[in-house]
Amino acid sequence: GHIVRNWKVRWFVLLQDKLLYYKIEGGKKEPSPKGRILLDGCTIICPCLEYENRPLLIKLKTKTNTDYFLECCSREERDSWALDITGAIHAGHPVQVQELHRMKNSFKLLENISLHHIVERMCDNSTGIKLTRNLEQGNRYKETFTGSAVVDWLISNSFAVSRFEAVTLASMLMEENFIKPVGARSTEATRYSDLSEQFLDDSTALYMFAESNKKNISSKEELQLNISELSGTIVKQGFLVKQGHKRKNWKVRRFVLRADPAFLHYYDPTKEENRPVGGFSLRGCLVSALEDNGVPAGVKGNVQGNLFKIITKKDIHYYIQASSKAERAQWIEAIKPLT
């Protein structure tokens, strides 16, 4: 927000020359837009690293120097939006758009390896990246490593087969806020370089583990939770409205459905840190649509319709509203095979 600096869920529609955004009430967007962002003369920064706990940001600066920070649900969604917005900004310059497509599709992480697993290996005291003190332009940095050291480590540990792949993978780690640039050399690269040059395979470019990542790996139990629950393949994600268990009120939540292992997590989009506020295993769950011509006994408050219910193996009931019957059917269809 521009007046109150809080984060709100908005429904965005990209047109040829502008980006419209709408308020969402009861899981549905209002008919009139809340605001608009004119794309003529706009500049886009992606990834935007200005908020350490929000690694999935896009920053738009308008011709009148107004800054907009937009947070996406996933790296894939962020890159897709950045690609399409860049295409609208540079409609008459297809070369830039083709470069974005090339970078987006040039490298895919092995299916059985998660970024959490890579960082866990990087932090290992015996086999991980060696942390050193470094001096750059009069500043002394503790516990840092160079860009070339990261590339060498990724190749030697078989996470990448070439320096190009290793640089791309290191860029993903930086974009997801596992590592961050420090010092003038690497910081300037993230601000002013092309997408393909933001992580530097260079012995003078310094990086370090992000503070949020240090907190995540400080507890072995918490790390195991992240790996086991959050490393599965994302099958579906999006905003739904969920009823609370205590107050029985309805709140917008970002839901992420993962397979192998099968979990459904939900996030509070107004929270600073990108961590789930709840979730559960789908094994043994029952999922079903609820008819719109009657409100079940367990449902309170403002019900707009398009309800469905998930009953966990421990007999916990979750009531969720979708924005349409079609969206409800899609979620149920995606969840059922994982139960």
**Is 229-336 the same fold as 115-213?**
no
Evaluate if residue 305 carries a pLDDT over 50: yes
In terms of CATH architecture, what is 10-104?
Roll (2.30)
Which long-range contacts does 10-18 make (Cβ < 8 Å, 24+ apart)?
A: 10/34, 12/70, 12/81, 14/81, 14/84, 14/85, 14/88, 15/88, 16/88, 16/91, 17/88
Mean pLDDT of 154-173: 84
Q: For residue 196, which phi and psi values (nearest 5 degrees)?
A: -75, -5
Q: What is the mean pLDDT of the chain?
A: 79
Mean pLDDT of 121-141: 75
What the block records as the tokens of 318 is 């979750």
Mean pLDDT of 79-107: 66
Q: In 3D, which of 293, 292, 286 has the Cα closest to residue 309?
A: 286
For residue 206, the 8-state DSSP code is E
Q: Cβ–Cβ contacts within 10 Å for residue 332, how many?
A: 16
Between 193 and 289, name the one with better pLDDT. 289
Rg (CA), the chain: 22
For residue 249, the 8-state DSSP code is -
Evaluate if residue 273 carries a pLDDT over 70: no
What single letter denotes the amino acid at residue 199?
F
Instruction: Indicate the pLDDT class of residue 102, thresholds 50, 70 and 90.
Output: low
What single letter denotes the amino acid at residue 127?
T
Contact call for residues 139 and 201 (beta carbons, < 8 A): no
| Predicted local confidence at residue 17, as pLDDT | 85
d(CA 115, CA 178): 9
138: left (phi over 0), alpha (psi -120 to 50) or beta: left
The half-sphere exposure of 86 on its side-chain side, counting CA atoms within 13 A, is 23
Evaluate if residue 141 carries a pLDDT over 90: no
120: helix, coil or strand?
helix
Q: Where are the alpha helices (DSSP H) in 137-271?
A: 147-156, 163-175, 184-192, 211-218, 220-230
Q: Does domain 115-213 have CATH number 3.40.140.10?
A: no
Mean pLDDT of 187-216: 71
d(CA 134, CA 113): 31
What the block records as the tokens of 179 is 């590592």
Domain extent listing, the chain: 10-104, 115-213, 229-336
Tell me which of 3.30.465.10, 3.50.50.60, 1.20.81.30, 2.30.29.30 is the CATH number of domain 229-336.
Answer: 2.30.29.30
Return the exposure string of 198-231: e unless at least 16 CB atoms fall within 10 Å of the residue's CB, then b. bbbbeeebbbbbbebbeebbeeeeebeebeebbb
What single letter denotes the amino acid at residue 57?
L
What the block records as the tokens of 173 is 């780690």
| Predicted local confidence at residue 260, as pLDDT | 84
Whose tokens are 């990108």? That residue is: 274
Instruction: Indicate the pLDDT class of residue 223, thresholds 50, 70 and 90.
Output: very low
| Predicted local confidence at residue 217, as pLDDT | 42
Q: Cβ–Cβ contacts within 10 Å for residue 61, how many?
A: 14
Instruction: Indicate the pLDDT class of residue 218, thresholds 50, 70 and 90.
Output: very low
| Predicted local confidence at residue 136, as pLDDT | 54
Mind listing the pLDDT tens digit for each residue in 13-45? Answer: 998 889 999 988 877 788 899 999 999 889 888
Looking at mean pLDDT, say which of 60-74, 177-191, 302-316 comes out highest.
Answer: 60-74
For residue 38, what are the contacts with CB-CB under 8 A and spacing of at least 6? 17, 18, 62, 63
Instruction: Indicate the pLDDT class of residue 184, thresholds 50, 70 and 90.
Output: confident
Sign, CA torsion 226/238/23/40: positive
| Predicted local confidence at residue 195, as pLDDT | 53
